[in-house]
Amino acid sequence: MPELQRLRADHAPALLAFERANRAFFAATVPDRGDGYFTGFAARHEALLTEQAAGSCHFHLLVAEDSGEVLGRFNLADGAADLGFRLAESATGRGLATAAVHQIFELSATTYALTSLRASAALTNTASRAVLTRTGFVPTGEEVPLSGKRGLAYLRELSTTKR
C-alpha cells in the first residue's frame, strides 16, 4: 500500500520524475506548469521545504512502498487550509486519491489543528471533483477561475470528519 509522506529534500528526484512523466496527463485537466517549472525545479523544491518549515504550508507525497515512485502529491497551501492534489496517470482508478485525502483530513485535524479545508477543481476535471465529493467536500456555489478555466470551490469541515 502506498504511504503518504511529508515532503523531504530527498524526495526531489522522484518528485521531478513524477511531474515530468505526468505532464501531458495533468495538462489535460489542469493548467500546465510551464517549462520554467522544470528548469527551476531544484530552487522551487527548496522553496517548498522552506515554506513547510515555517509552518505556512504542508506538502505530502503518496509514495509506492516497493519502488519509492511518487504516485501523487497532496498539498495544504497558503496557511489557509487550501487542499490541492495530483495523482499519476498510472495510479488513477484505484481509490488512492480518496484514501490519501482521508489521511490528509486526519493530519489536518490532529497535527495541523485545522477545522476545515477548502479546495477547487476545474469544471472539466471530473476525476478531482469526484474525489472531493466522495470525501465529503461540499460545493460552495462559488465559481473560481483556475488559470483561465472555470472551476468550482468546495469546503470540508473537519470537526465532523469520519472515516
CA quadruple 115, 100, 25, 13: dihedral positive or negative?
Answer: positive
CATH number belonging to domain 3-157 = 3.40.630.30
pTM of the model: 0.85
State the cell numbers at 116. 476545515
Percent of the chain scored above 90 by pLDDT?
80
Residue 161 has pLDDT above 70, yes or no: no
pLDDT digits (tens, 9 = 90+) for 125-141: 999 999 999 999 999 99
The amino acid sitting at 163 is: R
Residue 113 has pLDDT above 90, yes or no: no
d(CA 29, CA 11): 25
Q: Which of 95, 134, 110 is nearest to 1 (CA)?
A: 95
pLDDT at 79: 54
pLDDT digits (tens, 9 = 90+) for 62-105: 999 999 999 999 999 765 589 999 999 999 999 999 999 999 99
Are residues 72 and 104 in contact, defined by beta-carbon separation less than 8 angstroms? no
Residue 163 has pLDDT above 50, yes or no: no
d(CA 120, CA 118): 7
Query: Hey, where are the domains in the chain?
Result: 3-157
Query: Which residue, chain included where needed, has cell 501531458?
Result: 24
Percent of the chain scored above 70 by pLDDT?
96
**Strand-pair category, 149-157 with 82-87:** unpaired
pLDDT digits (tens, 9 = 90+) for 26-73: 998 888 899 999 999 999 999 999 999 998 899 999 999 999 999 999
